[in-house]
Structure 1
Amino acid sequence: MAESDGLITIGAVARASGLTASALRFYGDSGLLVPARVDPLTGYRYYTAAQRERAALIRRLRAIEVPLDSISDILSGDTERAERLLDEHIGELTRRAQEAARVAASIKQALGAGSTGEGVVLSAAILATALEQVRAAAASDRDMPVLAGILVEANANSLMLTATDRYRLSTRTVVTRDRQGDDWALVVDASDVTSVIAWLRLRDEVIAAPGHQALVLVGDGIERRCRVIDEPFPDYRAVLSGLAPVRTRVLTARDPLRDALENHSRTVRFELTKTGLTVSGNNHRHPLPATVTGAAIDICFDVATLLPAIHTALGPDLMLDIAAADLPVVLRSATDGDLTTLAMPTRQPLDR
């Protein structure tokens, strides 16, 4: 299969649309952008030229956090309804346009300030959020120093951040705006991240580049450095690729699920059926709208484990991939890039 056959690879669609390959898989699994063809032997996904354009529109709509069902309505061909839905976001669109004008004026200065020969340009605010999201999964002790770090990987059009303490794993991908040099990777000491996050929130654009024993961040002509842990990071991709096949998939709105969990102090049970999701605990039951595909299942979670993952999810929608009641559950979300978190269920019984 090649692009000359009229279909386009997932990598080409990612580069053209500004979405990551992981985000494209998320939208395919949610039914918003189902590939035109999936190779039955390799599982590789292929798209049409029209879907490439649809992906670009999805990227723009998700940038202002339009929910998945609203995006489907906007792209359905009903012009009047699409205009009404877009008008509801016009204030945010205007704000972003003004911000983009300010950022454009500083890009040249930022690029000139980066003297490492390698680096990526991205939104400072998005990088701050991404660092905040993944650092919670970094180890707090130093028994294995590298687990107290955050793996930073730069490739063609994205920056990936990953942290794990062996019990949790969180990985976030951020779409970059420009790039110099080759791919690179390093492990940043998570203890340096707190002050950097506060600094990033005051910038518009930032360059991230590898330096001597440091991650170098340059914004508005100011340079900040995060120390590097010079040890190999665990092969988290092997962990993700070694997960058991998904038997049940849930797509639900993030905020109602978060609100339901915040009303419980310990353990909750998710009851998943074809009709939706019910969260129960503390003798209370909360039916929530959800699209459930696959086998019906009951699964329990410690609120302290699950709630942080939901708080840090991107955008208004959350996808849960469940293999079994005693295996890690994958939580996925996507807006400006994508975020994947593994959360372990609990076998603790729950009074109903």
Structure 2
Amino acid sequence: MAGDGLITIGGLARACGLTASALRFYDDCGLLVPVRVDEVTGYRYYSDAQVDRGVMIRRLRGIGVPLDVVSEILNGDGTRAGRLLDDHVAELARRARDAAAVARVIKEEVGAGAVVSAAVLAAAIEQVRSAAALDREIPVLSGVLVESRADSVTLTATDRYRLSTRAMVPVRPGGAWSVVVDAGELGGIGSWLRELDEVTVRALDDGLVVTGRGSERRCGTIDAAFPDYQAMLAGLGTVRTRVVAGRSALLAALEAGGAAPVGFAVDRSGLVVSCNGQLRPGSPGYPELLARLHIPAVVTGPGIELAFSPKTLRPALASAIGPEIMLDIAAANAPVIVRSATDGELTTLVMPTAITNSKECGA
């Protein structure tokens, strides 16, 4: 309190439920002007009678009354004030109806299912779900992320050593939504999908629902945040070496190496496969096998040596699209991008393994 029955700005703020900064603003607006301002200190002082006006301003602003209308209500007669309040409430009701209508449309769009080719979806599931983790040490990695956007439906899976993602163009787009689905349950609907032409895919609170020809299949969800694979893709290093080679030849090389890591020495002639020195000159069939372990390829960029675990590279090659594979290589210790040489719908990242005493066959 101040002398002469005046109230400091802090006292008025407490009395009418406003902040001191709000009172200074209302002073500048001319809504609540102090009765005295100290010329030396600049302190504002108010009268007891201004408490009610401050409370009224707070209440009017609390229901969204614009400042110019607040001034008219405070400074006009009761009849005009009542009419202004009625007009404001009517406007609030109209805006609420409009907001509710927009919200209904958005909810319908968000929950709407995307219509996709059943055969394409079945193929995408088989191509992607093999990248999901087999164990449940990290539960979300045993799932497949299903995303619906305005122009695509995308499936993505990763076990930290491999990542596969495939985008499909929908027959009819759905709303924007995403859900992580148990990879095993998703794989279980493949045979059913192959009997259909088109299906509708949508996410509900309790799972993913796929509907087609009067029947449906549900897959349980995993309630956890999926890794930010888009950031992972964006953070890949610059591609230095690109290799285009036959898929069957690459798969055969992996089979020849067994379970041990298989190395590839890349140069302009193609790829030379390493197999841990298991074969030597003089071994039965050595010249023929050595010839088979040279894989012709179109190589762009500098030569490089790198190795892969068959259990990570083999599924990536087996699920790839088309007879020729494109490998984009940034470094021997960076994820390698595996794609079809002619079809970019499926992208797989495979992490190389360390090269450990791997010798070229016959060394």
TM-score by length of 1: 0.63
Given the alignment of the two structures, is residue 296 of structure 1 paired with residue 303 of structure 2, yes or no? yes
Distance 1:141 1:299 in 2: 27
Query: Which residue in 1 is equivalent to 2:204?
Result: 211
Residues 229 and 331 of structure 1: CA distance in aligned 2, closer, same or farther (over 3 Å): same
Asked whether the 8 Å contact 1:175–1:336 carries over to 2, the reply is no
Query: Which residue in 1 is equivalent to 2:193?
Result: 200
Distance 2:220 2:146 in 1: 12
Given the alignment of the two structures, is residue 351 of structure 1 paired with residue 359 of structure 2, yes or no? yes
* Runs of 4+ residues deviating >6 angstroms: none
Query: Which residue in 2 is equivalent to 1:321?
Result: 328
Given the alignment of the two structures, is residue 310 of structure 1 paired with residue 313 of structure 2, yes or no? no
Residues 145 and 321 of structure 1: CA distance in aligned 2, closer, same or farther (over 3 Å): same
Asked whether the 8 Å contact 2:145–2:181 carries over to 1, the reply is yes
Alignment equivalent of 2:265, drawn from 266, 271, 279: 271
Residues 334 and 190 of structure 1: CA distance in aligned 2, closer, same or farther (over 3 Å): farther
Task: Name stretches of at least 5 consecutive residues in structure 2 with no aligned partner.
Answer: 1-107, 280-288
1:94-133 Cα offsets, whole Å, 9 max, x none, are: xxxxxxxxxxxxxxxxxxxx99961222221221121122
Asked whether the 8 Å contact 1:123–1:206 carries over to 2, the reply is yes
Greater relative contact order (CA < 8 Å, ≥ 6 in sequence): 1
By how many angstroms is 1:329 displaced? 1.2
Task: Name stretches of at least 5 consecutive residues in structure 1 with no aligned partner.
Answer: 1-113
By how many angstroms is 1:254 displaced? 1.4
Matched to 1:310, the amino acid is L
By how many angstroms is 1:336 displaced? 6.8
Alignment equivalent of 1:173, drawn from 162, 167, 187: 167
1:125-274 to structure 2, matched below 5 A, reads: 125-180=119-174, 182-265=175-258, 266-274=260-268
- Where 1:278 maps in the other structure, the secondary structure is strand
Asked whether the 8 Å contact 1:116–1:209 carries over to 2, the reply is no
TM-score by length of 2: 0.61
Asked whether the 8 Å contact 1:161–1:172 carries over to 2, the reply is yes
Alignment equivalent of 1:124, drawn from 108, 118, 137: 118
Distance 2:110 2:349 in 1: 35
Asked whether the 8 Å contact 1:188–1:215 carries over to 2, the reply is yes
By how many angstroms is 1:224 displaced? 0.9
Q: How many residues align?
A: 238
Matched to 1:256, the amino acid is A
Residues 304 and 144 of structure 1: CA distance in aligned 2, closer, same or farther (over 3 Å): closer
1:197-236 Cα offsets, whole Å, 9 max, x none, are: 2211222211111123211101111111111222221111
1:13-52 to structure 2, matched below 5 A, reads: none
- Select the structure of larger CA radius of gyration: 2
Asked whether the 8 Å contact 1:157–1:177 carries over to 2, the reply is no
Asked whether the 8 Å contact 1:174–1:337 carries over to 2, the reply is no
By how many angstroms is 1:278 displaced? 2.3
Asked whether the 8 Å contact 1:175–1:337 carries over to 2, the reply is no
Distance 1:335 1:223 in 2: 34
1:280-337 Cα offsets, whole Å, 9 max, x none, are: 3243532222111111111112222211110000112211111111222111127676
Matched to 2:298, the amino acid is T
By how many angstroms is 1:243 displaced? 1.5
Asked whether the 8 Å contact 1:258–1:307 carries over to 2, the reply is yes
Residues 125 and 334 of structure 1: CA distance in aligned 2, closer, same or farther (over 3 Å): farther
Distance 2:205 2:313 in 1: 37
- Where 2:311 maps in the other structure, the secondary structure is helix
Larger strand fraction of residues: 1
RMSD value over aligned CA atoms? 2.2
Query: Which residue in 2 is equivalent to 1:55?
Result: none
